[in-house]
Amino acid sequence: MSSVSQQQSSSSSWKQVAGLSHEFDYPAWLELQCGLIASAYAGVLVVAEAQQFKPVAVWPDASSGVETLTDLIEQVLEEGEALVANLPASSGAATSHFGVAYPVTSQEGVIAVIAVAVSVVSEAELSMVMHELQWGAAWVELRQTRERYVQREDSFQRLSTSIDLLSRVLPESGFDNAAMRLVTELAINLNSDLVSIGFLKGKGVQLAHLSHSAEFSKHMNLVRSLENAMDESLDQRAPIVYPAGDNAPSNLVSVAHRSLHELQDAQTIMTVPLSVGDEWVGAISLQRDIDQPFTLEDVRYCESIAALAVSSLEEKRHNDRPLRLKIKEACTEQLVRFTGPGFIGRKLVLTSAVLLFLLFSLLNGEYRLSANATLQTISQQVIVAPFDGYIKAVNARAGDVVAKDEVLLTLDDRDLLLEQLKWRSQQNKLSRQYQEAIAGHDRSRITILDAQLAQAKAQLDLVSSQLRRAERRAPFDGLVVSGDLSQRLGGAVSHGESLFEVSPVDAYRVKLLVKESRIADLQLGQSGTVYLSALPDHPFAFNVDNITPVTEYQDGATFFVVEGRLHNTHERLRPGMEGIGKVLIDERNLFGIWTRELVEWMRLGFWRWWG
């Protein structure tokens, strides 16, 4: 065939193809395509459907010998390229037989394969056949593109409708309201007479809700039949439509659906299983008139609704359960995890905890009562002002360690010296007058002067005593606990005013604040140890020597004051230091020691509750 004739044939052929509608089916297209190839005597079209390649058209008929093209088609699917292969021919034939296969591709890969068997006499004819297949494949590709577009549009439409339905279902409070709204909306959207939903409970599905019905009897034949149909779909992990349509799987068991179909006056039934992740939790069943059978689009729509709504429904169902069921399920789950495979870390931790519990339940240990402790001196002596006066000098202040008879403070004594001089002069004057009265034998005057001399001597002794006490000295070796008069030099003090407080440094006691719930554990003579915050490396032993009835209120609790005498001292000990004191009570069970607070709290709560 010349080049001009080939072009004319091609032009004529494609004029015929251009007249085809976009709704043509595959057999019609293959018939036209093979009719345009004069040397073709057989043809087959293989298209990808559900991730599998299936022959959708055979020409001239299904009984024609296209089996010779099978190997060629498989090879094209593997390599993804157009191939030509020799085919067996009758002996003595003047023409050669070839198989020509051309792949139709898209972004996803090979989507179809066109294969024809031809009988040609020259290589030019074979090239013309390949050229015809290339142009004809465009129609198959266009058909596949349109189908994918329609499927995508259908998916978007289903998703939009599903989201619109969920926007009305999910805001419902509680599982019952949400489930009832879901089945009612599905009944309206899918024009169904009855929609039911059930969830797995125990070994089978239990019906939860029916559309347009708030209450139903669990012993109704309809309820049992619905639950059996849901079990049948759930067991097979696949949606079931009865009566089955043309696109329905043929390997699904539908005995329970047939029984329900007979019970419901020959209605068409569709049941879709529900899953959350990898766990199957229930099923939805729909029924409507037999004249409106459920289609594949209905199944996909219901599956999309179930995929979006079931997790929220399952969560609401779990939240609405009674507390006892939640506790039971949690305990059962943990028990299964502990006894089943896996969860090695959890098993080790739980086993260790049980062993430690048994160990501490059998062992005894020392029970020590802990309490906040404050260090105090055994006694304190107050140094007061001996008379009204003014401060002349200050030699110590709070925090200083002083020795016995060390001068702490000196008062101004100038007025006292003048007073002393005055009374000495008065005494000397009275002494002269007394001598003169004796010489004159004036008895009455002698008596008066004798009394005046005694008065002057008493006043002089008083002034001398005050002069001696103008210097305030430490009564013993100790520590000045309070009093800082260094900022009051020249200031006035009153008679009896407190100037310093001095404590001995060789005798301390511990003040413990013990909770009122623990005061009964203490007895006089019990030993203990105190750790001070300032000296954490030096424990100090003490004995309880006084349990006072005095209480203090701190942090919302009442504490009794308990005193103990230290056995040893330290040069760095100072009154007011704080720490923790522990008193040895006795030996008790370790588990009882650690859980005593909790047990007593629960006991008081129980008594308060029973009143």
- What CATH number should be reported for the domain holding residue 435? 2.40.50.100
Considering the domain boundaries, does residue 16 fall inside one? yes
- What CATH number should be reported for the domain holding residue 584? 2.40.30.170
**Helix runs in 561-595, H state only:** 590-594
92 or 48: which carries more pLDDT confidence?
Answer: 48
| Alpha-carbon gap, residue 120 to 135, rounded angstroms | 20
Report the pLDDT averaged over residues 503-523.
88
Judge contact between 409 and 396, C-beta under 8 A: yes
Neighbours of 501 (CB within 10 A): 18
214 or 136: which carries more pLDDT confidence?
Answer: 136
545 and 450 share one domain: no
pLDDT at 21: 47
pLDDT at 88: 77
- What CATH number should be reported for the domain holding residue 287? 3.30.450.40
State how far the alpha carbon of 574 is from the alpha carbons of 283, 314, 328, 513, 579, in Å: 79, 68, 60, 19, 12
Considering the domain boundaries, does residue 327 fall inside one? no
Q: Specify which of 168-182, 209-223, 417-431 reaches the highest per-range mean pLDDT.
A: 417-431
Considering the domain boundaries, does residue 306 fall inside one? yes
- Hey, what are 257's tokens? 């659906």
pLDDT tens for 473-492 read 888 888 888 888 888 888 88
| Alpha-carbon gap, residue 54 to 71, rounded angstroms | 14
496 and 512 share one domain: no
Residues near 345 by Cβ (< 8 Å), separated by ≥ 6?
none
Last residue of a domain, one of 446, 466, 501: 501
- Model confidence at 3, in pLDDT bands (50, 70, 90)? very low
Considering the domain boundaries, does residue 347 fall inside one? no
331 or 527: which carries more pLDDT confidence?
Answer: 527
User: End-to-end distance of the chain based on CA atoms, in angstroms?
Assistant: 113
422 and 488 share one domain: yes
Last residue of a domain, one of 270, 304, 320: 320
Q: Is the pLDDT confidence value at 581 over 90?
A: yes
pLDDT at 559: 93
595 or 558: which carries more pLDDT confidence?
Answer: 558
- Model confidence at 247, in pLDDT bands (50, 70, 90)? low
* Residue 452: strand, helix, or coil: helix
What's the mean pLDDT when you consider all of the chain?
Answer: 82
34 and 138 share one domain: yes
Q: Is the pLDDT confidence value at 580 over 90?
A: yes
pLDDT at 483: 82
| Alpha-carbon gap, residue 397 to 93, rounded angstroms | 135
52 and 122 share one domain: yes
545 and 522 share one domain: yes
Neighbours of 31 (CB within 10 A): 15
310 and 222 share one domain: yes
Q: Is the pLDDT confidence value at 260 over 60?
A: yes
247 and 315 share one domain: yes
pLDDT at 249: 60
Considering the domain boundaries, does residue 295 fall inside one? yes
Last residue of a domain, one of 480, 501, 522: 501
Q: Is the pLDDT confidence value at 6 over 60?
A: no
Report the pLDDT averaged over residues 186-197.
86
91 or 34: which carries more pLDDT confidence?
Answer: 34
φ and ψ of 603, to 5 deg: -65, -45
Q: Is the pLDDT confidence value at 176 over 70?
A: yes
pLDDT at 38: 84
87 and 183 share one domain: no
Q: If you ran DSSP here, which 8-state letter would residue 213 be given? A: B
Report the pLDDT averaged over residues 546-565.
91
Considering the domain boundaries, does residue 358 fall inside one? no
pLDDT at 64: 59
181 and 132 share one domain: no
Considering the domain boundaries, does residue 162 fall inside one? no
pLDDT at 2: 42
Considering the domain boundaries, does residue 373 fall inside one? no
pLDDT tens for 72-104 read 888 888 888 888 888 876 555 567 888 899 998
5-9, 268-272, 595-599: least confident range: 5-9
Write the Ramachandran bin of 242: left for phi over 0, alpha for psi from -120 to 50, otherwise beta.
Answer: beta
143 and 7 share one domain: yes
Q: Is the pLDDT confidence value at 158 over 70?
A: no
* Domain region containing 403: 381-501
pLDDT at 159: 67
204 and 248 share one domain: yes
State how far the alpha carbon of 375 is from the alpha carbons of 235, 515, 544, 557, 565, in Å: 77, 18, 14, 22, 10
* Residue 88: strand, helix, or coil: coil
Report the pLDDT averaged over residues 336-350.
80
Q: Into how many domains does the chain fold? A: 4
84-98, 264-278, 448-462: least confident range: 84-98
Q: Is the pLDDT confidence value at 564 over 80?
A: yes
